[in-house]
């Protein structure tokens, strides 16, 4: 069973990632918060499908290619900064237009034969950790961030995620066709 307080995850994950200037800006925020609050550094992303298991790396890539063929390029808009009492949702930017990601998440679940352990909540994480509400509020005050920034999605990023974030490795980028 998945423990929301654990810094470890398993299997493979499929992400969408901002590019260019927005990617650099979000990476700077992630790096700064990780340094100030002793958290892990990770690539800015929105998880489309987490903890894929029971498949080989080749099968995960093949199924991701199949998923990408069913997808159309779309825009992800970032919303307010929020947080939850869970390691991987400690602090994040909400996705203000989640309908397409929700739809593609459902298709991905079906394709991989998975069911959600938690409610799917598209977001771009800014900090991973187990923090208090007071610390979260302090962190939010330090972030220089413009609500409404957006990025185009036309590629899926596949990561092998066998444990803590420092073990994660990108294994494929799959463009929509």
Digitized pLDDT (tens) for each residue of the chain, 177 residues in all:
556 677 778 899 999 999 999 999 999 999 999 999 999 999 999 999 999 999 999 999 999 999 999 999 999 999 999 999 999 999 999 999 999 999 999 999 999 999 887 889 999 999 999 999 999 999 999 998 888 999 999 999 999 999 899 999 999 999 997
Which residue segments constitute the domains of the chain, with CATH numbers given?
A: 12-175 (3.90.1140.10)
State residue 1's pLDDT score: 52
Given a contact cutoff of 8 angstroms between Cβ atoms, the answer to whether 66 and 107 are in contact is no
Give the residue among 25, 37, 51 at the shortest CA–CA distance from 168: 51
Q: With the CA atoms of 115, 126, 138 and 38 taken in that order, what torsion angle do they form, in degrees rounded to the nearest 10?
A: 100
Radius of gyration of the chain (CA): 15
State residue 156's pLDDT score: 98
What pTM was computed for the model?
A: 0.94
Residue 13: is it exposed, middle or buried by C-beta count within 10 angstroms (0-12/13-18/19+)?
A: buried
Paired with 15 in beta bridges are: 47, 157
State residue 4's pLDDT score: 66
């Amino acid at each position: 069973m998945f423990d929301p307080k654990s810094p470890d995850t398993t299997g493979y994950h499929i992400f969408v990632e901002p590019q260019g200037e927005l990617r650099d800006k979000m990476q700077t925020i992630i790096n700064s918060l990780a340094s100030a609050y002793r958290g892990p550094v990770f690539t800015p992303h929105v998880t489309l499908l987490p903890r894929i298991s029971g498949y080989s790396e080749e099968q995960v890539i093949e199924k991701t290619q199949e998923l990408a063929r069913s997808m159309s390029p779309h825009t992800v808009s970032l919303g307010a900064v929020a947080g939850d009492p869970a390691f991987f949702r400690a602090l994040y930017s909400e996705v203000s237009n989640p309908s397409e990601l929700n739809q593609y998440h459902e298709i991905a679940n079906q394709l991989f034969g998975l069911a959600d352990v938690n409610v799917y909540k598209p977001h771009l994480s800014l900090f991973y950790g187990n923090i208090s509400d007071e610390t979260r509020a302090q962190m939010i005050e330090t972030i220089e961030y413009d609500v409404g920034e957006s990025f185009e999605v036309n590629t899926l990023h596949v990561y092998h995620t066998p444990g803590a974030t420092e073990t994660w490795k990108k294994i494929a980028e799959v463009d929509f066709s």
